[in-house]
Amino acid sequence: MAKAEHNNVTLGMVRDSLIRQEDTIVYSLIERARFPLNPPTYDPSYASIPGFGGSLLEFFVKQTEAVQAKAGRYDNPEEHPFFPDNLPPSLVPHYKYPEVLHPAAMSININKLIWDMYFNKLLPSFVSPGDDGNYALTAARDLECLQAISRRIHYGKLVAEVKFRDERKDYEPAIRAQIYSDKFVDVYKR
């Protein structure tokens, strides 16, 4: 396959990043599995935080994302918040990340689906039952898992874009005609 370069992003770089990101997911799952399920982390009636109706987990994720937004995390188009509404603006100078994606792609955020999959299916499958009281640490580990999985899944947008640009003449007519050929679908399966 020909080496494609788009604003310095090549398929080889994309592939290396995907492999590294999978390591990150594995590490984050191992770190979460050091703690038992710790159900009070997810129980709104446990936390009873003044002025906040949700669980400790939701409180932790919203507050942590606010800190990270102020520090500029979501200026990077590869990062997607789980609670994008009412995030504070970045307080640091804007860094000019390479513009790889089509502007429409920037608005895609499927973190709601990822959140539901993680808490309803993935988490119960790999942690042991039990409660050791480390709810703040548990929430921090959950957020690490969520962020690693989210980055990897949304990175698919970049994979698709780089593959599209490599064979624009094949994909473009199909996209314009909204024909989902096997080849086009394959871009999203990568």
Where do contacts with a copy of itself occur on this chain (CB under 8 A)?
20, 23-24, 27, 30-31, 34, 46-50, 56, 59-60, 63-64, 67-68, 70-73, 76, 79, 91-93, 95-97, 133-137, 139-140, 144
User: Which residue type sits at 60?
Assistant: F
Question: What is the Cα–Cα distance from 119 to 105, expressed in whole angstroms?
Answer: 26
CB closer to a copy of itself out of 9 and 171: 9
CB of 7 to a copy of itself, least distance (A): 14
Q: Please state whether 118 falls in left (phi above 0), alpha (psi between -120 and 50) or beta.
A: alpha
Sign of CA dihedral 115, 143, 162, 3: negative
CB closer to a copy of itself out of 30 and 110: 30
CB of 73 to a copy of itself, least distance (A): 4
Kindly state the DSSP code that residue 81 receives in the 8-state scheme. -
CB of 157 to a copy of itself, least distance (A): 18
CB of 74 to a copy of itself, least distance (A): 8
CB closer to a copy of itself out of 117 and 136: 136
CB closer to a copy of itself out of 64 and 181: 64
In the three-class reduction of DSSP (H, G, I as helix; E, B as strand; rest coil), residue 168 is classed as helix
User: Which residue type sits at 49?
Assistant: I
Tokens standing for residue 132? 């050791």
CB of 158 to a copy of itself, least distance (A): 15
CB closer to a copy of itself out of 33 and 117: 33
Report the b/e string of 64-100 with b at 16+ CB within 10 A: bbeebbeebbbbebbbbbbbeeebeebeeeeeeeeeb
